[in-house]
Structure formats: C-alpha cells, structure tokens
Amino acid sequence: MHRSGATMAWNVFKFCTALRGLGSIMILLVLGIVGVTYYSVVLTNYGPALFDGGFHSLSAALILLLFHCFLVMLLWSYFSVVLTDPGGVPPNWRPATDEERGEVDPLNGSELDSSQPNTLNQRIRYCRKCNQLKPPRCHHCSVCGRCVLKMDHHCVWVVNCVGAQNYKYFLLFLFYTFLETTLVTLALLPHFLAFFGDGEVPGSPGTLATTFLSFVLNLAFALSVMGFLIMHISLVAANTTTIEAYEKKTTPKWRYDLGRKKNFEQVFGTDKRYRFIPSYSEEDLRRIPALQGLEYPSKPDFDSQEF
C-alpha cells in the first residue's frame, strides 16, 4: 500500500514537470489559432469585401474594425497574464501583529495563549515544500514549484499561475477572447452555411478549408470560454478563488466577502478608466490589499492545513 502511494506521488510529480515543459508550445498554439483566424477573416473574406462597394464594404469595415480592436485587447491581456508574476511570498514574510491586543510575532513571541484553540499562532499556515509561512489565501503550486498569493489555478494556456497580481488580466483575457470568438463565429457563419448550399462557393480549396476550420475553432472556444467567464464572474462576486470554492466549508458568510461592489473593486480596481484594460492605476496598486494577499481579515480564521 505504501509502495503504491509512493508511485502515485512520483507520477503526479512527473506530470507537473511535464506541464512546465509545455511553455512556448502553448504560446505558439495560441498564436497559431490567432493566425489561422486572422487569415480567414481579414485576408480571405472581409479584407477583399472592402472593395465591393455599398453595404458590403460598410459591413466589412465594421467587422474588421471590431475584429482588430478585440484582437489587440485579447493579445494585450494574454501576454499580460503570461509575463506578469502572479505574486510570490516576500522573503522572511511574517504576519502583521498588534501589540495593543497582546499579539506578537508568532515565530518569536509567547504572549499568545497556546492553550486556546482559536489563537492566531495555531492558525498560521506553513508550507513544508517552500519551508516558509504562508499568507492568507496563499497556496503552493506544484507546477511552478512555489507558493502563489491568492492562487486561483495554474493555467496551461497562459503557461503561468493565475494569482493576486494577474487575475484581472486573466479575466480580461477570457472576456476579450469571448468577444473575439463570438464575432468571428457570427462573421463566418454565412460562409460556413454556404458549404452546405447548392450554389458554388468561391475560393480555392485551401481558403475554404481555412474558413471552415476557423469557424469550428472559434465556435468551440466561444462556447467553452463563455462557461469559464460565467464561473469566474460568480467567483469575483463572492470574492472567492477557484481553489477556495472547492476547499471552503459551507458557511453562512464567507469571511472575505465584502459585498459585490467591493469584491469587484478588489480585482478590477476603483479607477473606472482602467476597468477594461490589463493595467492598474498607481492609486489602486496602493489601495487594494487583496492584490498582494498579505493581510489577514479582521477576524483571522486560518487553519494549519498544508495545501
């Protein structure tokens, strides 16, 4: 029995190591899908339609304008997730203390009553893999090999963890991907239906195949991303991560739930000019404690379980 458990642990470790190796392959795959879609929409179908004149030119111009706007925001958000550190635990991090309330550093102090089951020092979480204390809402990622602040999940598509510092960018990536793929699906729908019509479809076999492939891919992504987007919107509204949604016990009140407005502001910031771009204002970077994930709520309730 012990032997099979060791084998399972080894297999999981090997799987996590393999995920690290995906790296540029997944980025190239995303860029490849974008390239096929761009070729189909811009170069094959709606680019040439700009010269048809009349209503066809106007509709083509509108579709191309929206397509390029969504594409720029999609790629900006995507590479923001890929290149932004999700948030790591600062070296020698220790929980904040309050001397007036009798709280001291849990590493060195002795004022906290260890006989009480609900004292703070028994709720401090410790990562045995990183050999360090874990801030609230922090979890260890086996793929990245480190603890991540307010970790949501490790995403193979962005080759990165989604955590405190890049969660907004990930949500915007989902949002603009949904808009882009929905637009492409609707734009290519008439061309897709033409495959099954009685009339002759213009274009070479290669361009027709590319159009067909682009429609199927974008339809599939639009439907799947819509599901993920709805799920994450509900998580943001409750100030919950994907990991916490599976781990937390059924309680009448989630301790981090500040109300929908403040929950939303913790992720997207208070400055409305930055709501739909993958960036934060300097003021928001200073005002959003959840962005760093290093503060306890007013009534700490953290167990000593290792994640």
Q: Which residues are catalytic?
A: 155
Residue type, 104: V
Please name which of 233, 83, 230 lies closest in space to residue 158, comparing C-alpha atoms. Answer: 83
Cβ contacts of residue 215 below 8 Å, gap of 6+? 40, 184, 185, 188, 189, 191, 192
Torsion angle (degrees, nearest 10) of CA 278, 230, 211, 37 = 10
Q: How is residue 189 written in tokens?
A: 């729908």
Residue type, 25: I
Residue in this structure with the two tokens 């799987």, named with its chain if needed: 15
CB atoms within 10 A of CB 107: 11
Please answer whether residues 89 and 141 qualify as being in contact, where contact means their C-beta atoms are separated by less than 8 angstroms: no
CA quadruple 19, 21, 23, 29: dihedral positive or negative? negative
Give 37's strand partners.
none
Residue 24 — φ and ψ, nearest 5°?
-65, -20
The helix/strand/coil state of 132 is: strand
Residue type, 159: V
